[in-house]
């Protein structure tokens, strides 16, 4: 442009700020021959939105003719970034306040849990506009103060569509859909936001058919309404219905595509998820995070690398997913690299990310590193304490795990279901029956937590490992919930270890009626028959596996060397150094055979006459070659 006025320059700054290109915005700002208060405010707002509050405050202090918009932008920057005390200090210094100023500081108080302070400010406001009432109402709703919300709504001198919509959301979250629907029908006028609010209410309460009816009745649908109903179908596991609506959408955005991608990932349909991912016209951080979380293998690490190469920045979701996968794969080198990256980009104070690092280090065998990370945390929450309890449990340090529990309570944190799952697992691994019962019974008695199937499973495992098989089976029979298959397998395994073969048969046959394709159960039952010398019954079980073409999932192991992951499965000959690996296995076989005791094979493999158990194991089960 040949001629640029101050409006043109300001538009360029605002455009760069909207696209988070703060450096480009600053270059334009510095190059401006003449700046007005709009220029300064646009640049200040850009810094505040990016979390660069020192730069924002520096600009604010340099503005000579500050107006109320400048003050509001700076206060909003403080509240948005968690610095509520500085926001309040600046608010008190304001020479002139408008309704927006009061709304910003009240909303900030609610966001940080200072409800009583928000109420005091509301009472002090010289003029209580509809906007201010709506801010207060939305704050109560977000905090779950449903009675206060209703009381405020009823005494509002004037209401607009936003007021009614907030109250509909309030009733929906309180699972009072009849009241929400009644309010919706009472509304003097409804906009698309109100329609979407009531639809989301039904979706939140798992009434998807009612939500669909209202969606079909909507006079005008925007893309938010379409995305809400599609997301509702995905959350309820109805991907086909979500896809049907997705194909009918007149317009789609990244949220629409991400919802369908999430649906594929939730169904563990990674092949179609990846195909859909590759077809997406635009991707954002959520897209990459969803796809990365879908992979439970080294492909997730490859995808993370591609994400960085594409120019996307990792966020909390990215770090949590990738670090968790590093722990699952036990790739310590990758895990440490992720830890450095977390520090480099400023997530070292993020409790969720740091908690995932604790879990990762423990799964990689570095419990000392996990402890060090935990001890260096500036802020902890229940998730962090849970991660540390599980880390100690994972490494067989039951005493240390149980010691953490009273420390957690003394620090002011309430346990949740995950806390007790870690404690009960620690008791199970160490045979602490009395302690296990104590924690299990205290869940409901002291903490108002109803035990879930996982907690019952831990108790069954604890009793089974301790040889209290009759007690374990009695607990199973009295359960108000259906136990997962792995619990029955654990109980059956305990029956084999403690040679209670009669109960073992009962447990196995009971489960096989419900899960006729459970290969693990067939193998355990076959081993029980073999241990009793009932060779015909053992062979019969193996024949059933063959007849139904059921195969146990191949064992798999891997090792990380120089940042690369090498994976091995049974009878694996794909590695370029296969010949050398097998030669080493033969040497190991000789060493093991020399120290092998005849009784060692009992209960681990079927005693087949004429077979060398050690040689057979090393030759056929080569998933161990990574060791």
Cβ–Cβ under 8 Å, residues 270 and 300:
no
Whether 616 has a pLDDT exceeding 60, the answer reads no
pLDDT score at 144: 86
Q: Tokens 């995305």 sit at which residue?
A: 227
- Residue closest to 498 by CA, chosen among 534, 529, 528: 528
pLDDT score at 18: 79
Rounded CA separation 82/120 (Å): 20
pLDDT score at 386: 95
H-type alpha helices, 364-414: 367-375, 382-394, 398-410
What are residue 263's phi and psi, to 5 degrees?
A: -60, -45
In terms of pLDDT, which residue wins out, 38 or 371? 371
User: Which DSSP symbol is given to 622?
Assistant: G
Rounded CA separation 113/90 (Å): 19
Rounded CA separation 470/474 (Å): 6
pLDDT 10s digits, 134-164:
999 999 998 888 889 889 999 899 999 999 9
Q: What percent of the chain has pLDDT over 90?
A: 44
Rounded CA separation 432/425 (Å): 10
527 burial level (CB within 10 Å; 0-12, 13-18, 19+) = buried
Rounded CA separation 510/495 (Å): 14
Per mean pLDDT, which range of 172-186, 246-260, 369-383, 464-478 is the poorest? 464-478
pLDDT band at 604 (very low <50, low <70, confident <90, very high): very low
User: Which DSSP symbol is given to 451?
Assistant: P
pLDDT band at 606 (very low <50, low <70, confident <90, very high): very low
H-type alpha helices, 50-145: 53-62, 68-80, 84-93, 99-111, 115-124, 130-143
292-300 contacts, C-beta under 8 A, 24 or more apart = 292/318, 292/321, 292/322, 292/325, 293/265, 293/317, 293/321, 294/264, 294/265, 294/268, 294/270, 295/270, 295/325, 296/325, 296/328, 297/325, 297/329, 298/329, 298/331, 298/558, 298/565, 298/567, 300/325
pLDDT band at 2 (very low <50, low <70, confident <90, very high): low
Whether 116 has a pLDDT exceeding 70, the answer reads yes
Cβ–Cβ under 8 Å, residues 363 and 397:
no
pLDDT 10s digits, 259-269:
999 999 999 99
Residue 120, both tokens: 């005091």
Q: What are the Cα distances from residue 377, in Å, to 39, 318, 348, 353?
A: 40, 20, 8, 11
What element of type H or E holds 303? helix 299-310
- Residue closest to 599 by CA, chosen among 531, 541, 535: 531
Residue 332, both tokens: 């310590």
Per mean pLDDT, which range of 76-85, 210-219, 614-623 is the poorest? 614-623
Mean pLDDT, the chain, whole residue set: 84
pLDDT score at 193: 92
Rounded CA separation 459/432 (Å): 11
Residue 216, both tokens: 């079909």
Residue 151, both tokens: 């009381």
Q: How many CA atoms lie within 13 A of 386 on its CB side?
A: 17
pLDDT score at 342: 93
Q: Is the alpha carbon torsion for 278, 280, 284, 285 positive or negative? A: negative
Per mean pLDDT, which range of 74-78, 97-101, 190-194, 544-548 is the poorest? 544-548
Task: Label residue 481 left, alpha or beta by phi (over 0 means left) and psi (-120 to 50 means alpha).
Answer: beta
pLDDT score at 600: 47
What's the pTM?
Answer: 0.72
| Domain map (residue ranges) of the chain | 452-553, 554-627
Rounded CA separation 36/63 (Å): 10
pLDDT score at 610: 40
Q: DSSP 3-state assignment of 565?
A: strand
User: Which DSSP symbol is given to 626?
Assistant: G
Residues 171, 172, 177, CA angle at the centre, nearest 5°?
Answer: 85
CATH 3.30.160 fits 452-553, yes or no: no
Per mean pLDDT, which range of 37-46, 242-251, 415-424, 589-598 is the poorest? 589-598
Whether 615 has a pLDDT exceeding 70, the answer reads no
Whether 295 has a pLDDT exceeding 70, the answer reads yes
Through-space distance between the first and last CA atoms of the chain, rounded to whole angstroms: 67
Q: Tokens 């420390």 sit at which residue?
A: 407
Whether 372 has a pLDDT exceeding 90, the answer reads yes
pLDDT 10s digits, 528-584:
777 777 787 778 777 777 766 666 666 666 666 665 666 666 666 766 777 777 777
pLDDT band at 619 (very low <50, low <70, confident <90, very high): very low
Q: DSSP 3-state assignment of 568?
A: strand
Q: What percent of the chain has pLDDT over 70?
A: 87
Rounded CA separation 163/525 (Å): 64
What element of type H or E holds 560? strand 556-561
């Amino acid at each position: 442009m040949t001629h640029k006025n101050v409006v043109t320059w300001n538009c360029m700054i605002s455009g760069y700020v909207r696209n988070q290109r703060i450096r480009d915005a600053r270059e334009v700002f510095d190059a401006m021959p003449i700046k007005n208060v709009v220029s300064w405010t646009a640049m200040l707002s850009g810094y505040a939105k990016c979390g660069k509050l020192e730069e924002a405050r520096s600009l604010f202090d340099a503005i000579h003719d500050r107006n109320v918009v400048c003050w509001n932008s700076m206060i909003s920057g403080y509240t948005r970034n968690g610095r509520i005390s500085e926001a309040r200090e600046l608010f008190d210094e304001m020479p002139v306040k408008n309704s927006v100023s009061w709304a910003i500081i009240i909303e900030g108080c609610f966001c940080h849990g200072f409800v009583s302070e928000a109420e005091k400010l509301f009472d002090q406001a010289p003029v209580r506009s509809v906007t201010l009432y709506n801010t207060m109402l939305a704050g109560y709703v977000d905090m779950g103060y449903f009675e206060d919300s209703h009381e405020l709504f009823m005494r509002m001198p004037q209401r607009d569509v936003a007021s009614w919509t907030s109250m509909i959301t309030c009733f929906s979250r309180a699972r009072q859909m009849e009241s929400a629907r009644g309010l919706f029908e009472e509304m003097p006028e409804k906009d698309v936001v109100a329609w979407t609010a009531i639809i989301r209410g039904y979706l939140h309460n798992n009434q998807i058919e009612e939500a669909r009816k209202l969606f079909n009745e909507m006079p005008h649908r925007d893309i938010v309404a379409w995305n809400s109903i599609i997301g509702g179908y995905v959350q309820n596991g109805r991907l086909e219905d979500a896809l049907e609506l997705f194909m009918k959408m007149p317009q789609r955005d990244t949220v629409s595509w991400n919802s369908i991608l999430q649906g594929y990932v939730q169904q563990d349909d990674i092949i179609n998820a990846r195909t859909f991912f590759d077809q997406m016209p635009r991707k954002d951080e959520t897209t990459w995070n969803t796809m990365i979380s879908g992979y439970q293998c080294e492909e997730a690490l490859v995808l993370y690398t591609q994400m960085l190469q594409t120019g996307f920045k990792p966020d909390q979701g990215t770090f949590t997913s990738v670090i968790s996968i590093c722990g699952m794969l036990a790739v310590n080198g990758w895990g440490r690299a992720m830890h450095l990256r977390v520090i480099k980009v400023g997530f070292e104070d993020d409790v969720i990310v740091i908690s995932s690092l604790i879990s990762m280090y423990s799964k990689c065998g570095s419990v000392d590193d996990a402890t060090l990370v935990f001890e260096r945390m500036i802020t902890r929450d229940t998730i962090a304490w849970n991660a540390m309890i599980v880390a100690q449990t994972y490494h067989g340090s039951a005493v240390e795990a149980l010691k953490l529990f009273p420390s957690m309570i003394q620090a002011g944190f309430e346990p949740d279901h995950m806390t007790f799952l870690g404690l009960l697992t620690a008791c199970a691994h160490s045979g602490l029956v009395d302690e296990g019962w104590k924690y299990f019974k205290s869940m409901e008695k002291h903490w108002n937590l109803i035990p879930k199937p996982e907690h019952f499973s831990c108790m069954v495992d604890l009793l089974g490992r301790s040889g209290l098989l009759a007690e374990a089976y009695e607990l199973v029979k009295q359960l108000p919930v259906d136990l997962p298959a792995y619990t029955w397998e654990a109980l059956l395994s305990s029956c084999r270890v403690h040679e209670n073969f009669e109960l073992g048969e009962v447990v196995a046959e009971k489960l096989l009626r419900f899960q006729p394709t459970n290969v693990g159960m067939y193998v355990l039952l076959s081993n029980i028959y073999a241990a009793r010398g009932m060779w015909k019954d053992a062979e019969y079980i193996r024949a059933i596996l063959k007849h139904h073409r059921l195969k146990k999932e191949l064992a798999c192991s891997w090792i990380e060397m120089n940042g690369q992951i090498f994976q091995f499965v049974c009878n694996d000959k794909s590695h370029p150094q296969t010949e050398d690996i097998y030669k080493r296995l033969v040497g190991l076989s000789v060493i093991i055979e020399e120290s092998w005791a005849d009784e060692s094979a009992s209960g681990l493999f079927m005693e087949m006459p004429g077979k060398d158990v050690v040689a057979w194991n090393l030759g056929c089960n080569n998933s161990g070659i990574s060791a």
